[in-house]
Amino acid sequence: MQTIRTKLTKIMEKAFEACGYDTKYAGVIRSDRPDLCQFQCNGALAAAKEYRKAPAMIAGDVIKQLEGESCFKSVALAMPGFINIIVTDEYLCEHMKEMAADDNTGIPKFEQDKTLIVDYGGPNVAKPLHVGHLRSAIIGESLKRLAKTLGNKTIGDIHLGDWGLQMGLVISEIEERMPELVYFDESYEGEYPESAPVDFAELSEIYPSASKKSKEDEAFKQKAQKATKELQEKRRGYYELWKRLREVSVNDLKGSYRKLNVDFEAWLGESDADEYIAPMIEKLVADGFAYESDGALVVDLALEDDKEPIPPILITKSDGSQLYGTTDLATIIQREKDFKPDEYWYVIDNRQALHIRQVTRCAKKAGLLPEKTPVTFVGFGTMNGKDGKPYKTRDGGIMKLSDLIATVTDAAAERMRSGAFTSEFSEQQQKSAAEKIGVAALKFGDLINHRTKDYIFDIDRFLSFEGKTGPYLLYCVVRIRSLLAKAKEAGMTYSAMEDVYCDSARDVLLTMMAIPDSLYKAYDEKAPNIVCECAYDLAASYNKFYNENKILGETDEAKRATWLALSAAVEKMLAYLLDILAIEIPERM
Ligand code: ARG
């Protein structure tokens, strides 16, 4: 369906054309002076140069032409040549009807569906998650959902770090602790046990201690490097052990991501690119892109007109081992083969910007990726503690996602008990609501900031009922749902809005009708904070309306039906926006 702005632009185009002016000047935008008008067209100012006429004359011609257009309540000239527009309430209601009936809530979709790879999450098997992984999951999920709702085919790929030195460290440590396991017996030819020899809790303890040991003990470090290499060469016992460790880790990750309402279409990892590495290196050398430099293999990337210098990318180190960039290049080959994407988004923290730039430049230079395929690095800043340093747990250790979720859930439960939320829930309902509210607070508290900025994790502020917070939005939706349920119980019916009746209701409609444009802006800028702002603006305008009017108590039946229809439309749109943000709505609060 068309947005209200598109419809008004079309009407304006006809008028420009009829007056002999180019339609390119006819664009209508939302007014930046809502006290004066709802929409405006500034094209006469730009057209003045081409037609050598005063802007006011051009605007005057167009306004005259628009006389008799029934959708306008007023079209007026504002000096030096703006056209200020106010549409009729009937027109607004008509458009609202269309939005409410539309299966994408009135948000137009792209005509062509592109296949988009969103590389986000990026946790490392056996290693603890850090705030960067948390932000990647939250931001990536919402951008993926936004892209999808606008009509793209989206493939979210978690791109697990499952093939690096950490795996060799863990394998070596397990070998030292449990040398009797069959995985380490090179002559063993039988079946391997079904389950892993360690559970997730043990695995979480093994990695840090192995990592520490490798820093103090050179022999152990070398052993781990050797194990990494042998794993990558698929030494049978190591590979089988690795598979089981990966599964233990993935099961835990799935649990945490489920709580965050984050999900991936592809659970692939660095290991899935392995088979492409050797032929890729061979080809890079054969085609003359990769050459030896101090024993290492590198590809030059610099171009004459580079504004920022871009160093060569390292393909293999002098000891023959491969690097982070090597797997990322090979992953492009795998993705081109399996998904044929039209576009790539990498949602990774700001510090990896150069890395992705190098990988992209190399892939295009060597023909692994078509030159025309857009690759966007969607970088983000850090979630800091109140001390301004990257967020840590209370004991100063690295954050565990499960602990963070527990922290926000407990804080939300505390709020509920202290009376900020209405009670009369069963214990089970309370638990589920606290989890949803806590996670919503965390996610909205993150997404409301422009992604490239750092922000401070402040659970008290995130949980507040006032201002731009998750709970503020959830409460708005939950309250509308309960209102609509009460109306239903009382047998009150409503269909569409027939009139507006008051200024605050009109404001709600105008706020709602501005959302499609904002979502496209959010998409272009890859900025979930714009989606957050939309949701907040809509909730705030509805709350103003709600406070100014009785809804269920309204005795004029037509008016009451209109208020209910308006409430239902707001509920639908808020739920739609929260779904883009991947924020779940509790049943009650
Ligand atoms: N595993 C990486 C890390 O922990 C993030 C992966 C990001 N994605 C990528 N294609 N490099 O830093």
Residue 281 DSSP SS3:
helix
Quote the distance between the C-alpha of residue 171 and its chain's center: 35
* Residues of the chain scoring pLDDT < 50: none
Q: Give the containing element (helix H, strand E) for 220.
A: helix 218-232
The 3-class SS string of 253-280 reads HHHHHHHCCCCCCECCEHHHHHHHHHHH
Residue nearest to atom 12 of ligand 1 (CA): 122
Q: And the tokens for 112?
A: 């062509």
* Distance from residue 377's CA to the centre of ligand 1 (Å): 12
124 in contact with ligand 1, CB cutoff 6 A: yes
* Distance from residue 144's CA to the centre of ligand 1 (Å): 17
* Per-residue pLDDT, 389: 87
Residue spans of beta strands (DSSP E) within 98-151:
115-119
Distance CA(481)–CA(463), nearest Å, equals 21
Q: What share of residues in the chain are helix, strand, coil (percent, to 5)?
A: 55, 10, 35
* Per-residue pLDDT, 146: 98
* Per-residue pLDDT, 380: 97
Residue nearest to atom 10 of ligand 1 (CA): 328
* Distance from residue 19's CA to the centre of ligand 1 (Å): 57
* Per-residue pLDDT, 127: 83
Q: Are 85 and 74 in contact (CB under 8 A)?
A: yes
* Per-residue pLDDT, 300: 97
* Per-residue pLDDT, 420: 61
* Distance from residue 486's CA to the centre of ligand 1 (Å): 49
Residue nearest to atom 7 of ligand 1 (CA): 122
Residue nearest to atom 8 of ligand 1 (CA): 122
* Distance from residue 30's CA to the centre of ligand 1 (Å): 40
Q: Give the containing element (helix H, strand E) for 517.
A: helix 515-525
* Per-residue pLDDT, 421: 60
* Per-residue pLDDT, 524: 98
140 in contact with ligand 1, CB cutoff 6 A: no
